[in-house]
Amino acid sequence: MSFNRKIINCFLSVIILVFFTEGVSYIAIGYLERKGIIYKPYMPKNYGEYLKRRDPMLGCRVSNFGVEGYGTDHSYLRFKYNDRDRAKIVILGHLSENIIRNVNQLKGLLYHSRGVDLHPRFIIGQDGSLEFIPC
């Protein structure tokens, strides 16, 4: 096989591999978005659609930092480390089930899980501020 032929075969192999990888990634991301593992915010197709759907009294855009399976602590961390949102008002929603999640770092004590599944939590410090307790 000539050198030029080997180069062409190598180039075609790389292109096929890249397209295959991109296809698998596209399918995997779609699956993970539907499961709530990867967050996909609502994005209107155009500004006219946004104007039709917005609240007529408030008219504001709402950033939702909650994700399925996240506790209050995770949602707070997600909000805290998002430097793009410049909201002047923040509302933290809370489910009663999250009380148990918020004080527990070992998920296996609450729900069936394989292996050790730890997550961070917060405690109230001496000065009344939240102190982060890593995993």
Question: How much is the pLDDT for 70?
Answer: 73
Question: How much is the pLDDT for 27?
Answer: 95
Question: How much is the pLDDT for 71?
Answer: 72
- The pTM score is 0.42
Residue 21 reports pLDDT greater than 80:
yes
Average pLDDT over residues 32-60: 75
CB 80 within 8 A of CB 100: no
Question: How much is the pLDDT for 16?
Answer: 96
Residue 75 reports pLDDT greater than 70:
yes
Token digits of residue 2: 């000539």
- Other C-beta atoms closer than 10 Å to the C-beta of 71 total 23
Residue 85 reports pLDDT greater than 90:
no
Burial class of 98 by CB neighbour count within 10 A (0 to 12, 13 to 18, 19+): middle
Higher pLDDT, residue 127 or 119: 127
Question: How much is the pLDDT for 35?
Answer: 80
Average pLDDT over residues 86-97: 77
pLDDT in tens, 35-45: 878 877 767 67
Torsions phi, psi for 118 (to 5 deg): -100, 155
Secondary structure (DSSP) of the chain: --HHHHHHHHHHHHHHHHHHHHHHHHHHHHHHHHHTSS------SSHHHHHHHS-TTT---------TT--HHHHHHHHHT--S---S-------TTHHHHHH-SBGGGTS--SS--B--EEEE-TTS-EEEE--
**Residue 113 pLDDT class (50, 70, 90 cuts):** low
Average pLDDT over residues 10-32: 94
One-letter amino acid of 68: E
Per-domain residue ranges of the chain: 63-135
